[in-house]
Structure 1
Amino acid sequence: MLKIKTIVYFTFIAMLLALYFFTFTKFAEKLKEKELEQFDTPIIQFIQGRISDQLTSIMKVLTFFGSVPWFIMAAIAISIFLVLFQKKRYAVFLLFTSWSGLVLNFMLKWMFKRERPDLLPIIAENGFSFPSGHSMGSFVFYGALAVILVRISKYALLDWIFGSLCALIILLIGISRIYLGVHYPSDVVGGFAAGGAWLTICGLGLRYFEYSLTKKRRGDRQ
């Protein structure tokens, strides 16, 4: 029974990674061939066609929760909390996954060097556009929080509620970047795909570490 569960788990992970890599490489190829306008333009027109003062205020708040300063502060605070409650490995997982994800995003931006959109920018941003750092960072950070909760929680309903909330926050942060005029929709999708792939890889690393730890403890008992 355990072997069947393991096979199903790794099959799912392999399919998930394949989906993330396929999505990212597809958009990266279209970017190099300058064929993303047909994808980006209708979405930008739809989202920015709903600009209002009240919605702009909301989007600015949302985009802050996908920013580097927020990730740094939140990751440190949550990690301290986890260490205090004897969950050191999850603190390490959160810090490593989040900060290495930021470094990876920086490298990808410099690799593709896509300029930001200039259609209707509501806020000013520096740096390159693809993939979106807010989108990738939020997928990695909030996704890592969801992974940690699943590991430590004993309530499946709580896992589903928190996981759904994290997914909603990630989606809204991505939309906020398009709304504010600092990213193309393809930047956001590329960020989600890259973030999803990195989170999955780091999650596999955590699972392997926990498996090795459990195996070592069993060996010590014998």
Structure 2
Amino acid sequence: MKTRAIWLGAIEIILLGIFIWGFFAIATSFNGPEIHKFDYNIISIVQSNISDRLTSIMLFITFFGSVKGVAIITALVIIALFITRHRLLSLFLMVTIGLGAGVFNKILKLYFKRERPDIQPIIQEHGYSFPSGHSMGSMILYGSLAFILFKVFNHTWAKIVGAIFGIVMIFAIGISRIYLGVHYPSDVVGGYIAGAFWLLICIITFSFVEKWKKKGLKS
């Protein structure tokens, strides 16, 4: 058991290190040729088939990563968890989303102050571009929901469906931001990395609190 905990802790530290390295590798190379080429190649592919119907679909998808969409989903899940007596998980979701998708993202945006792309914007957004709030928020929200499903349900199928749904939503929301012309692809990737970093920190913290609570009940 101790060996497993050591290995798990080592993996978590390595992942956190990779996230930090990846995030700052992007953040310090906005004007570099590699990032520039990556951004414009992806934008040209994603925006190559713009149409009214596809725009409507992308606007629908992007809502689920917006402040309003994330707030609604978070509130509904918190209520459901509280009613079903999963109150530690409801607190986990509240803190993870509130501080991560809200406060942490705003701090990062204000620090890096990257302007939004002006290549072919379909909608108008205000504020800074990096990291993408929708991408970061979707990673935190749908990653948290997948984690909650793993904690609440014992059925393997529920865990698999939850994980697949989360991955699809996160990816689709990121693509929608590029399609709508309000974020560079590197903003989206940066948002994913920052969101994954924050989510892992919160999961580690939750695990410690959960173990501490169980020990308290046994003593």
Shorter-chain TM-score tier: over 0.9
Correspondence 1:31-180 to 2 at 5 A: 31=30, 36-101=35-100, 102-180=102-180
* Structure 2: distance between partners of 1:107 and 1:100: 10
Describe the superposition over 1:114-140 as per-residue Cα deviations: whole angstroms up to 9, x where unpaired: 110011111110100000000000000
Query: Quick one: percent identity of the two aligned structures?
Result: 42
Q: Which amino acid aligns with 1:38?
A: K
Moved over 3 A (4+): 32-35
Measure the CA separation in 2 of the matches of 1:130 and 1:213. 38
Q: Quick one: distance in 1 between partners of 2:140 and 2:51?
A: 30
Unpaired runs of at least 5, structure 2? none
Match of 2:7 in 1: 8
Which residue identity is paired with 2:203?
A: G
**Which residue identity lines up with residue 95 of structure 2 in the other structure?**
F
- How many corresponding residue pairs? 218
Query: Could you tell me whether the CA contact under 8 Å between 2:121 and 2:181 is conserved in 1?
Result: yes
Greater mean alpha carbon deviation, residues 151-160 or residues 196-205? 151-160
- The residue type equivalent to 1:65 in the other structure is F
Do 2:135 and 2:170's aligned partners in 1 also have CA atoms closer than 8 Å?
yes
* Structural RMSD (CA): 1.3
Partner of 2:214: 214
Q: What's 1:196 paired with?
A: 196
- Residue 131 of structure 2 contacts residue 187 of structure 2 at CA under 8 Å; is this kept in 1? yes
Q: Secondary structure at the match of 1:182?
A: coil
- TM normalised by structure 1 equals 0.94
Unaligned runs of 5+ in 1: none
Offset at residue 35 of structure 1 (A): 5.7
Q: Relative to structure 1, is the Cα distance of residues 32 and 103 closer, same or farther in structure 2, using a 3 angstrom cutoff? A: farther
Q: Which amino acid in structure 2 is aligned with residue 113 of structure 1?
A: K
Instruction: Deviation per CA, 1:50-88: give whole Å up to 9, x if none.
Output: 212221111101100000011112211211111111011
The normalised TM-score by structure 2 is: 0.96
